[in-house]
Structure 1
Amino acid sequence: MSARAVETEPARRPRAALSPQGAIVDLLAPVWLAVEVLRSIPRSLLAGRFPFEEYLRQTWFTIKVCTLPSLAVSIPFGVILALQVGVLAQEVGASGFTGAGNTLAVVRQAAPMITALMLAGVAGSAICSELGSRRIREELDALEVMGVRVVERIVLPRVMATVTVAVLLNGVVMFFSIMTTLLVSVVAMDLSAGGYLASVGTLARPSDLILSLVKAAIFGVLCAVVASHKGITAKNGPSGVSDAVTSAVVVNFVALFGANFVISQAYAQLFPGGVA
């Protein structure tokens, strides 16, 4: 190979990788994977091929690695939220609505986002690194050669496990965050526990809880699908797996905030009378 070819080849690769067509394909690939996962659910259940053992194993693993980090974030977040909302409520003369403000902020926004970020950063990284390692060891290629559907056998149980843990963990984070805001408001802000809880019942609606659970489920699908896609498309050896994990976390974080904005705005339009 000539020296001119050696000099020009590295300059060509970034342009090809950053082409509009490649960017669009890379953006839509997780969407197609999500569609394939949804299609695989009834097919695997009706055919009796759903990997329940793998689903349970992945669920237990996700619970173990995500519960403590989520609580470690939710408790200090509850302290900060209670202090900020309490001070603001006192300044505007609305101390009676402190409980409602804290609780609605936790239920509508904080709990599902904390859960999703922990899933993306911890469980998503594990999923991506595992599938990426299997890809570079050609294990996934071997399954495909044997006629085993990788999406149905490998990706589907991880997506279902992540969604299950997201919904359950969302409730745990919600409970601890609300209890933290209640404790801080009663001890530090000299509010009565009865008045705090009464304000919650005045403004909170069942649709707020439904919104939180729906957000958690959607975020769980998003985290698992993006991590799985980055893992099964990893290449260039161990360094490629490392790059895939980093990319999965970054893409998940950006996508989660975007999805949260879209869902919140849709909720505000469907159920006017409050900001989601």
Structure 2
Amino acid sequence: MSADVGVRAFPGRAGLEHVGRMYAMALDVIVGMFRRPFQWTEFLEQAWFVAKVSTLPTALFSIPFGATISLLLYQLLDQFGAGSATGAGGVLAITQQAAPIVTALLISGAGGSAIAADLGARTIREEIDAMKVLGIDPIRRLVVPRVLAMMFIAAVLNGLASVVGVAGGYVFNVMIQGGTPGAYISSFNLLAQSTDIIVSEMKAVVFGFVAGVVAAYRGLNPPPGPKGVGDAVNQTVVISFMLVYFINLVMTQLYLFIVPAKGM
């Protein structure tokens, strides 16, 4: 009896239970991706919705991101007489780091929060319980199409963020800092490699998967009442951001360990 009390008193038990359940849901989603029939209509609707609410913010947010990176790199490299290599460093930083992060933040904040709110509202209205009574698996019917939509749109928006970020860095470097247009463009391939684009897309897909799973889990397990749905939405954004930054660190370290950097 005392041991049971000790287990109940463990302060991190609830958090560990949530982590375990979220991990179990992630595995169920992966398995559900390969089962048929696939909910194409739900997937297309969710992909269109996520793209609609995330495309413009991603493009607009990528401009200052790329400009800031370009401005800082030029200030640093110009001190060593290498200001012409700003384009090389900018493309590498934007493609490999900034674009996936921008994409993840926007789809988590816009698409993920909407998914959590939608599923949370269905949960408190007991629609999810009704589906289970009818023998319909909510994971395969609702969660898998939403997660796949987040992954697909994340990969597409990552390409958009890369292009817009590099263009923003170019404009600010040439117009504000007096950089040479030809030098900026010709230095693109000094440091960047094709593998940088591949790992960038891989990051975006993984971030989309994480954001989708977190949003679905919090939506299907909200605290009681309408206020609980709002809390679930807030938790979705915060948890997604934390996981994205941690996973980005791990993937970056693995990539730099496996793929050698390209020298100038």
TM-score after normalising by structure 1? 0.89
Gaps of 5+ in 2: 1-6
List per-residue Cα deviations over 1:74-129 (Å, max 9, x = no partner): 11122222211111111122112110111111001000000000011111100000
Q: Per-residue deviation at 1:16?
A: 5.6
Residues of 2 paired with 1:151 and 1:135: CA distance?
A: 13
Q: Per-residue deviation at 1:17?
A: 8.8
Partner of 2:27: 35
Decide whether the 8 Å contact of 1:268 with 1:274 is kept in 2.
Answer: no
Residues of 2 paired with 1:273 and 1:17: CA distance?
A: 50
Query: Partner letter of residue 99 of structure 2?
Result: A
2:115 counterpart (121, 127, 135): 127
Which secondary structure does the structure 1 equivalent of 2:164 belong to?
A: helix
| Matching of residue 169 in structure 1 with residue 161 in structure 2 | no
Partner of 2:64: 76
For these two proteins, the number of residue pairs brought into alignment is: 257
1:99 counterpart (72, 75, 87): 87
Which secondary structure does the structure 2 equivalent of 1:154 belong to?
A: helix
Residues of 2 paired with 1:140 and 1:128: CA distance?
A: 13
Which secondary structure does the structure 2 equivalent of 1:200 belong to?
A: coil
List per-residue Cα deviations over 1:165-199 (Å, max 9, x = no partner): 00000001110110111111122222222221221
Residues of 2 paired with 1:85 and 1:64: CA distance?
A: 33
Partner of 2:208: 220
Residues of 2 paired with 1:76 and 1:273: CA distance?
A: 26
Query: Partner letter of residue 14 of structure 2?
Result: G
2:235 counterpart (247, 250, 254): 247
C-alpha root-mean-square deviation of aligned residues, in Å?
1.6
Partner of 1:62: 50
Partner of 2:14: 22
Decide whether the 8 Å contact of 1:135 with 1:235 is kept in 2.
Answer: no
1:266 counterpart (238, 254, 259): 254
Partner of 2:4: none
Quick check: 131-140 or 20-29, which moved more?
Answer: 20-29
TM-score after normalising by structure 2? 0.93
Quick check: 101-110 or 65-74, which moved more?
Answer: 65-74
Residues of 2 paired with 1:18 and 1:29: CA distance?
A: 18
Decide whether the 8 Å contact of 1:78 with 1:178 is kept in 2.
Answer: yes
Go from structure 1 to structure 2 and tell me whether the alpha carbon gap of 1:172 and 1:30 turns closer, same or farther (over 3 Å shift): same
**Runs of 4+ residues over 4 Å off in structure 1:** 15-18
Gaps of 5+ in 1: 1-14
Aligned identity (percent) is 37
Quick check: 128-137 or 67-76, which moved more?
Answer: 67-76
Query: Partner letter of residue 56 of structure 1?
Result: L
Query: Partner letter of residue 23 of structure 1?
Result: G
